[in-house]
Chains A and B, each alone.
Chain A
Amino acid sequence: MLSLIAKRLIHALPILFGVTLLVFALIQMMPGTIADLMVPPGSPPELVAEIGKLYGFDRPVWEQYLRWLFQVLSGNLGLSVATGKPVAAELFAALSNTLKITIAAAILGFGLAILFGAIAAIYHRRWPDRVFSVLMTAGLSLPNYWLAILCVAIFSVKLRWLPPQGIGPAGLPLHWDQWKFMILPVIALSMIPIGVVGRLVRATVLDILSQEFITALEARGLPWRRIWLHIAKNAAPAALALMGLQFGYMIGGSILIETVFNWPGTGQLLNQAIFTRDVTMIQATVLLLAVIFVAVNLLVDILQGAIDPRMRR
């Protein structure tokens, strides 16, 4: 098991290095220079050059990359081009906000997905299968930002039960004053995982149920609660792999949900950074999201190895 963890960690390093290269190169490929973005349009070229020099943009590209890489490794993500504030503080504050709704949406979404998928598989081709399959397909097909707007129109504007936007009081979400801001974004964000993971769980469980070892276990008189443990163990690796990917997508891909609910997370931060061409912020956000994505998948690989001995080979 330890060798699996070590192997996976070693594999992750070149991926992370590649990510830093790619992120840096993407920014370099943008038209104009970063200094152009820091001054309003029509500024004299001398001022642009002076500002560029202050931030070291006049140095060779490789030198800028190495300096940036060392800064990143030492935890310094630089200053935002748009606001002049330290990027790290902004980014980690946004990440903690995103994690609040992502973790809640993952618990809700993955929990319901397993439940719906399993029920649909057990009652294959009967009414529960049809109902939950429709629900899961709807979760997958309905644009979640549209669902978000619909929720706001009904629960905030019409009924006035829940706030339509914002994050509420700062801190860990321990009180209703904070939860009430999370409910609608979490529901909207959990829809896609319900659809994607639920359909996979249904298909995997159906596949396992049709295999001979289930019939053999049943023939040997094993109670169904024990047989379900075997089914769960066999279905878990595939579901876990997909959940890992989905969790990564939810952290990086919640741009639309965070925009609709004005939720100050990484999605909204990235969206704003793109619109204001805040390249240092884009660089750091993309890098952090990529690192999280790699880390989550690393964790999933390790978990799969723990569950399924074949993965350790």
Chain B
Amino acid sequence: MKFTKFVAALATSVALMATVATASAESVLRVAMTTGDLPTTTGAPTQGLEGMRFAGYPVFEPLVMWDLRKTEGPVTVIPWLAKEFKTDPNDRNKWIFTLRDDVNFHDGSKFDADAVIWNLERYYNDKAEHFDPAAAAYLRSRASLLKSWEKIDDHTVAITTSTPTSYFPEIVAGILMVSPKQWEAVGKDWSKFAEKPAGTGPFTFSDVNRNQLTLSKNDAYWNKERAAKLDKITLQAMPEATTRMAALMSGQVDWIEAPSPDSIPVLEGADFEVVTTSFPHVWPYWLKIADDTPFKDPKVRQALNYAVDREGLVALLNGTAEPASGFWKKGDPRYGNPKNDYKYDPAKAKALLKEAGYKDDELVKVKVMITTAGSGQMMPLQMNELLQQSAKEAGFDLEFSVVDFAKMLAVRFNDKAPEMQGVVAMNSSFTTADMMWFYFSFYPKNWAGYADPEAIALMDEYRNTFEGDTTPILAKLHEKLVDDAPWAWIVHSRNPVAMSKKVKGYTPVQSWYTDLTLIDVED
């Protein structure tokens, strides 16, 4: 009897301990980013779109948001902190945002129209006490169309743009809201706010230090349907691909961004999961369309598009890219039906060059500015060397002006820069996710010097169309672009991410961002 009691007590204790252990086990996702430094934590994250992906949207939220649970087709903008948004039919410059009334910041203060106005003044009002020059420098250039803003009532704000812009919500999706009360509480100092930030998102920053950011689940999150499954996420900056791979393989992290293509077979062989996705990205050559360049003739531009060995590049990149024959991808409703379907076809490229007046064995000299590395540039040196070889077979002699990525950004609009001398093409990759970059690329004035009247009319039409399905306009515009070829369309990245098999719930969508609330880590 005594022995039976002892066994029962022991079993109960073990069960209790197991329950306690299970209850206290936290699910933690440890992420290695490709960034050189940790993003800033003030709601205006640095380190590009990767910074926004991990230290932006999970903690701070915009009035309208990319729908990161839309797995089919391009991601669109949906209501978020604003439950409704519309333009005034009598004044298309004016956008009305009706705010949710059930949202609190992480510090417990209320999100309302005053908070929205305060946040806009942080970026746009140089005279405001809380004006943040560093954040303003970045945001203003992305969202330069904002002209004025006003509070209509506690839950309604109006924002006026300088010109009618149908894609304005995509711009608003980049403006994140932070708590005005928390900024006051930390002494009205943005650097102190960075140590104790407060937004409205599904995660909070629970620890901010120089080497690691820790995000913790926000138990009071307003959107119960999208509450986080993870208890914590830790973020570390690891710019070196080899270091990230070693960290994943040694069990130090669970998730690495952008494993190098060479490492993918090794990672898969070691039982890690490598996920690629149809990514809104394009890796092109911008072509200078001017009187003194070969690209003035559209036939030469088309010929270069037929001189690109896309399949060779895909093989070089171990399948982490897919061939590009336009700004958008085939299958995207905006792709349309262009006359040209660009594939590597040296004979066709040479025939087009002949039509353009070049002799049979003549090589068209093209000097391209390329980079050694950089955001979205993948493996630019190796990729360009492959292109150089394949283009020679098709009548082009590619020469490179090699610079670092930051230098390209600094000099590409400066024709007098030494590195720009003789350059008639530019290898700079791009997001295709939002229309702002589309207009930057193709609406005059653009780097290529592309100014086709029909394309401009279509872009004007799209910008002024606020109701109904705008896809046919974009499809027609895209057909025009593909055939006019102001760019040589080369590849789209497939954004590889490698993770431990413990990571569950990762749902790739056509976006540079990820819904981290869907993810969990199971032991």
Contact = CB atoms under 8 A, between A and B. Distances in A.
A58 to B, nearest CB: 15
B240 interface: yes
A260 B137 contact: no
B401 to A, nearest CB: 13
A41 B419 CA distance: 17
B444 interface: no
Contact of B46 (A31, A39, A82): A82
A16 to B, nearest CB: 28
A84 B138 CA distance: 11
Interface residues of A, number: 43
B410 A32 contact: yes
B412 to A, nearest CB: 7
Most buried by A among B134, B236, B238, B414: B134
A83 B38 CA distance: 10
B190 to A, nearest CB: 8
Contact of A39 (B36, B138, B242, B250): B138
A143 B153 CA distance: 66
Nearest to A269: B37
Interface in B129-175: 133-135, 137-138, 140-142, 144
Most buried by A among B236, B243, B440: B243
Contact of B191 (A85, A170, A260): A85
A262 interface: yes
B46 A83 contact: yes
Contacts of A93: 210
Interface stretch (A159-167, A206-214, A297-305): A159-167
Nearest to B136: A51
Given A166-B236, A262-B238, A41 B252 contact: no
Interface string A46-84: 010001001000000000000000000000000100111
A262 B240 contact: yes
A84 B40 CA distance: 9
B133 A170 contact: no
A165 B418 CA distance: 39
Nearest to A45: B413
B252 A164 contact: yes
Contacts of B137: 38-39, 47, 51
Contacts of A40: 138, 141-142
A25 interface: no
Nearest to A82: B46
Contacts of A147: none
Contacts of B237: 262
B405 interface: yes
Contacts of B497: none
A259 interface: yes
Contacts of B316: none
A165 B238 contact: yes
B48 to A, nearest CB: 9
A276 interface: yes
Nearest to B410: A32
Contacts of A21: none
Contact of B246 (A41, A83, A86, A164): A164
Given A83-B40, A167-B211, A153 B140 contact: no
Contacts of B133: 51, 54, 84
A281 to B, nearest CB: 10
A277 B407 contact: yes
Interface in A259-273: 259-262, 264, 271-272
B1 interface: no
A271 B249 CA distance: 25
A166 B243 CA distance: 10
Contact of A276 (B36, B210, B411): B36
A294 to B, nearest CB: 27
Interface string B220-257: 00000000000000001111101100110111100000
Given A51-B133, A156-B246, A166 B211 contact: yes
Contacts of B239: 259, 262, 272
Nearest to A170: B209
A37 B404 CA distance: 14
B251 A160 contact: yes
A72 to B, nearest CB: 20
A43 interface: yes
Nearest to B408: A41
A4 B128 CA distance: 57
Contact of A157 (B142, B246, B404): B246
A31 B414 contact: yes
B369 to A, nearest CB: 13
A223 B191 CA distance: 65
A164 B246 CA distance: 6
B191 A275 contact: no
A37 B406 contact: yes
B290 interface: no
A86 B192 CA distance: 12
Interface in B99-141: 133-135, 137-138, 140-141
A189 interface: no
Interface in B21-80: 36-37, 40, 46
Given A42-B440, A47-B137, A160-B250, 11 more contacts: A38-B137, A40-B142, A41-B409, A43-B144, A149-B242, A164-B243, A166-B252, A262-B237, A275-B404, A275-B406, A277-B407
23 contacts: A31-B407, A31-B410, A31-B414, A37-B406, A39-B137, A42-B413, A42-B440, A44-B141, A47-B137, A47-B141, A51-B137, A82-B37, A84-B134, A86-B191, A152-B246, A156-B250, A160-B250, A164-B243, A165-B246, A165-B247, A166-B247, A275-B36, A275-B405
Interface of B: 36-37, 40, 46, 133-135, 137-138, 140-142, 144, 190-191, 209-211, 236-240, 242-243, 246-247, 249-252, 404-407, 409-414, 417-419, 440
In order of increasing CB-CB distance, the 4 nearest A-B pairs are A84-B134, A164-B246, A43-B141, A272-B36
